[in-house]
Chains A and B, each alone.
Chain A
Amino acid sequence: MSDVAPARATLFLEAPEPEVAGLARSVLRDRSVRIGVTVVGVVVLLAVAAPLVAALVGHGPTEQFQSEALDSSGVPIGPSSSFWLGADGNGRDVLVRVLYGARVSLLVGIPATTIAMVIGTLVGLLAGFFGGWVDQVLSQVTDVVLSFPFVVTALSLVALNRTEDGSSRVSPVLLVIGIVAAFSWTYFARLTRGLTAELRSRPFVEASETIGSGSWRIIRRDVLPNIAPAVIVYWAVQLPTNIVAEATLSFLGIGVQAPTPSWGNMIADAQRTSLYQVQPWFLIGPAVGLVATVVGFNAISNGVRNVLDPHHGTR
C-alpha cells in the first residue's frame, strides 16, 4: 500500500489568482492537467458506456461462454472479432469486464475519498482550530487509526460481514467503500490540522477576532476558504491511492467479490491461474485500465499543484 501522507502541508495563499473562476481557467491551461483530464475523461466515458458495449458485443459482464471462448483444454481464446480482448478462464469477455471494472473502481474510489475528505477535514479543522484537549483527543484517535494494519483489519471486517450461511450483511461494495474511507480520512485530518493550526496564528484570523467574529464564523469565512484548495488537491492525490487500495483488497480476495468484475480481482484471477501467460490480455486489460486511471488522476493533481504553488513546479 502506498498511502502517501502529505509530506509537507502547503497553503496555497500565494496562488496567482484569488478568484475561483480565474483559478479554474489557469488550471485548465496547464499541460499536465489537460492530459490528465483527457485520460480520466476517457475512463469515465468508457465506464458509462460499459452497458452499451456489452449490448453491442452481446456479452454480459458475468456471462460465461465456455463453448465459444475456451478451447478444448479449457484455455481461453485471445482477441477475436467477437471477443475483442479475448476471454478469461471462465469464458467471460475481458473487454466487457474491464469496462465494468472501471465502474467499480470509480464507484468505490470516488465516494470513499469524498467521505474520507469530509470526515478528515472536519476532524482536522476542530483539532487545529481549538487545540488543547480537543486536539489531544482527536490526535489520539487519528494515531490509533493510522497504526492499524490496513489489510489485516480489513480482513477482520470482511469476516465480520459474513453471516452463518455465507452471505453478506451489507453489500461488499459498500463495505469496501467504508473500509477505504475509514483508513484514508486520517491523511486529510493530518493535512487540515496542520494547515488550520498555521492559519490560526495568521494576523487576518486575529483581525477577525478583534472585530468580534466568533469561532464558527472564523472557521467558515477565514479558515475553510483558505484550506479548501489544498484539501481539494489532496482529494485528487488520494483518489488514485484509494482506487489502488480497492484493487489491492480485491486482488487479495477481500474487496469486491467475484463474479462482480473489478480490476483487482481480474488481475488476481489472471495471476492465480497463470492463464495470462497464454492469454496476456487477461492481465493487460485490467492492468492498463488501472494504471491509466491512476496516471490520469495523478497528472491532474500534479498539474493543479503546479499552478497553485509555483515554487513546487518545474518552472
Chain B
Amino acid sequence: MLTYVVRRIGRSALTLLIVLLVTFVLTRIAYRNPAATLAPRNADQQVMDGITKALRLDEPWHLQLVHYLLRGPDIQGAAVGLLHWPPALGYSFRKQTPVTELILSKVPVTASLALGAVVIWMTFSLVTGVLSARRPGSVTDKVISAVAYVGLSLPTFLTGILLSYFLFFKLATYGIRWFPSSGYVPFRESPFEWARHLLLPWLAIAIAEIGIFQRVVRGSMLEVLSADYIRTARAKGLAERRVYFDHALRSALNPVITLGGLELAAILGGAIVVETIFGLDGVGRLAIESALSGDYPVVIGTTLFASVVFILSTLTVDVVTRLRDHASVTH
C-alpha cells in the first residue's frame, strides 16, 4: 500500500512537471514582444527593460525555465522560484502583485463555490438515485430520471443564465430580491449572506452534475441490488431500509467516488463559466482574464494551480478506493 502511494505520488510529480514544461513553452512561444505584453498599460522603456532582465527574457527559454524553477533574484521584493519554499509562481507586472498571492486571494471564492456545489449535487443525486433504483420503471423512477435527463442536457452556462434570469431578474421585477445577481460575501462576515450570494452559482454547477450522478448512482445501485449478498441480507430478514442504505449503497459508492473525484478535479472549468456569469471574483475569472490579456505569469500559475487540484483529487480518490478495496479484495 505504501509503495503504491509513493509510486502514485512520483507519477503525479512527473505529470505536474510535464504540465509546467508544456505551459511554459506554449506561453513563451505565444510571446511576441514579451516585455510589452507583460508590462502595465503605459509603462516606459525602463520598466520593460527591467522586466526583460528580471525574467531573463533575452535568454533561451530553457534557461528561463531553470530560472523559473530555481530561485532567481527577487522582483520588486517578491521571491521567484517554484522549488523555493514557500513556492513562488512569479510576479504579475500588470497587477503589481506576486502570482502566488494573487491566486491565494481568490481561492476562498472558488473553494466556496466548489464545496457548496459538491454538497448539493452529492446529496441530491444519492437520494434520488436510490429512490429511482428502488423500483426501476415506476412513476417515481420515470419522473426523477426525466428531470435528471434535462439537467444533464443543460450546459452549465445556459443553466446559469436561466437561473439568473428567472430567480434574479424576473423575481426582481416583482419586487422580490431573494437572490443577488452577483458578488461574494466572505463566510466569516456573514454565513447567511455567503450562502445567499452563492446559492444560484451552486445550483448552476450542481444541476448538470445531479443529472450525471443520479444516473450513476441509479445504475450502480441496480447492479449491486442484483448481487447475491443483497439476497442474503433479505434472507436474514433485514428491513428493506437497511438493505438499501446500508448494504447496497455501501457497495454502490465506488463508481460514485471515482467519478466524483474526476468531476471535482475538473470543477475549475465550470467555475470559469459560473464566475463569469455571476460576477464572482475567483480563480476561474482570474485565469480567463489573464489569458485574454496575455498576463502569462498568471496563466502559468493558474494552469499549475488547476493541475495541482486535479492531481490531488484524483490521488485522493485512488487512495480511498484502494483502501476500500483493500478491505474486500486483498489482504
A and B touch in the complex (CB under 8 A): yes
Residues of A within 8 A of B (CB): 1-5, 7-8, 140, 143-144, 146-153, 155-157, 159-160, 164, 240, 244, 247-248, 251-254, 264, 267, 271, 276-277, 283, 287, 290-291, 294-295, 298, 311-312, 314-315
B128 → chain A closest CB, angstroms: 15
A294: chain B residues at CB < 8 Å are 153-155
User: Are B26 and A149 closer than 8 Å at their CB atoms?
Assistant: no
User: How far is B253's CA from A8's CA once the two chains are assembled, in angstroms?
Assistant: 12
26 A-B residue pairings within 8 Å (CB atoms): A2-B155, A2-B208, A2-B209, A2-B270, A5-B262, A7-B216, A7-B220, A7-B258, A140-B14, A140-B18, A148-B303, A148-B306, A152-B287, A153-B303, A155-B287, A155-B291, A155-B292, A160-B26, A248-B269, A252-B276, A267-B157, A271-B277, A276-B165, A287-B162, A312-B219, A315-B136
Contact between chains at A295 and B153 (CB < 8 Å)? yes
Contact A151 B149 (CB under 8 A): no
Most buried by A among B270, B276, B291: B291
Q: Assess the B137–A315 pair: CB atoms within 8 A.
A: yes
A271–B168 Cα gap in the complex (Å)? 14
Kindly list the 3 A-B residue pairs having the minimum CB-CB distance in the complex, ordered from nearest.
Answer: A155-B291, A149-B306, A1-B269
Q: Which of B232-264 contact A (CB under 8 A)?
A: 255, 258-259, 262-263
Answer whether A152 and B303 are a contact pair too, CB < 8 Å, given A248-B155, A252-B276, A277-B169: yes
Known contacts A147-B19, A295-B149; 20 further A-B pairs (Cβ under 8 A): A2-B156, A2-B212, A2-B263, A140-B15, A147-B311, A148-B303, A149-B268, A151-B288, A155-B299, A156-B30, A156-B291, A248-B157, A264-B157, A267-B158, A283-B161, A287-B162, A290-B155, A291-B154, A294-B155, A311-B222
Tell me the complex Cα distance, A253–B289, Å.
12
Chain A residues whose C-beta falls within 8 Å of the C-beta of B223 in the assembled complex: 311-312
In the complex, which residues of chain A have a beta carbon less than 8 angstroms from the beta carbon of B145? 314
Residue of A nearest to B208 (CB): A2
Q: Shortest beta-carbon distance, A31 to chain B, in Å?
A: 12
Contact partners of A253 in chain B: CB under 8 A:
292
Given A149-B269, A153-B23, A315-B137: A271 and B161 interface contact (C-beta under 8 Å)? yes
Which chain B residue has the least Cβ–Cβ distance from A313? B136
Partner of B156, one of A1, A7, A153: A1
A149 neighbours in B (Cβ, 8 Å): 268-269, 287, 302-303, 306-307, 310
Partner of B310, one of A146, A155, A157, A244: A146
The one of B26, B136, B158 that contacts A157, using a Cβ cutoff of 8 Å: B26
Which of chain A's residues have a CB closer than 8 A to the CB of B155?
Answer: 2, 244, 247-248, 290, 294
Interface presence of B266 (CB below 8 A)? yes
B11-A7 in contact (CB<8A) = no
By a beta-carbon cutoff of 8 Å, the part of chain B in contact with chain A is: 11, 14-16, 18-19, 22-23, 26-27, 29-30, 32, 136-137, 141, 145, 149-150, 152-158, 161-162, 165, 169, 208-209, 212, 216, 219-220, 222-223, 226, 255, 258-259, 262-263, 265-266, 268-270, 272-273, 276-277, 287-288, 291-292, 294, 299, 302-303, 306-307, 310-311, 314
Give which listed residue, B16, B158, B270, B273, contacts A291 with CB less than 8 A.
B158
From residue B329, how far is it (CB to closest CB) to chain A in Å?
A: 16
What is the distance, in angstroms, from B129's C-beta to the closest C-beta of chain A?
12
Q: Are the C-beta atoms of A314 and B137 separated by less than 8 Å? A: yes
| Closest-CB distance, A78 to chain B (whole angstroms) | 17
Query: Which residues of the partner chain A approach B150 to less than 8 Å between Cβ atoms?
Result: 295
How long is the Cα–Cα vector from A148 to B291 in the complex, in angstroms? Answer: 14
Closest residue on chain A to residue B170 by CB atoms:
A277
Chain B residues closer than 8 Å to A155, beta-carbon distance: 287-288, 291-292, 299
- Complex formed: what's the CA distance from A4 to B288 in Å? 23
Q: Give A209 Cβ to nearest chain B Cβ, in Å.
A: 27
CB <8 Å contact, B310 and A159:
no
Taken together as a complex, chains A and B put the C-alpha atoms of A276 and B158 apart, in Å, by 13
> Which residue of A has the minimal Cβ distance to B303?
A152
Residues of B within 8 A of A160 (CB): 26, 29-30
Determine the residue in chain A with the shortest Cβ distance to B14.
Answer: A140
Partner of B266 from A3, A143, A264, A276 at Cβ < 8 Å: A3
CB distance from A100 to the nearest CB of B (A): 19
Which chain B positions have C-beta within 8 A of A147? 15-16, 19, 265, 306-307, 310-311, 314
CA distance A294 to B169 in the complex (A): 27
CA distance A176 to B142 in the complex (A): 37
The docked-state distance in angstroms from the alpha carbon of A13 to that of B117 is 37
Q: B212 and A4: CB pair below 8 A?
A: yes
The residue in chain A whose Cβ has the minimal distance to the Cβ of B209 is: A2
Within 8 Å CB of B310, what residues of A?
A: 146-147, 149
Q: Which residue of B lies closest to A276 (CB)?
A: B165
A266 → chain B closest CB, angstroms: 11
Q: CA A116 – CA B308 in complex, angstroms?
A: 25
Q: In the complex, what residue of chain B is closest to A277 when comparing beta carbons?
A: B169
Least distance between B121 CB and chain A CB atoms (Å): 11
Asked if B136 contacts A164 (CB within 8 A), the reply is no
Q: A150-B269, A159-B291, A244-B155 are in contact. Are A267 and B161 (CB under 8 A)?
A: yes
Q: Which of A8, A159, A164, A294 has the most CB of B within 10 A?
A: A159
In Å, the complex CA distance between A247 and B265 comes to 21
Q: Please name the residue on chain A nearest to B26 by beta carbon.
A: A156
> Within 8 Å CB of B209, what residues of A?
2
Bound complex: CA A301 to CA B32 (Å) = 45
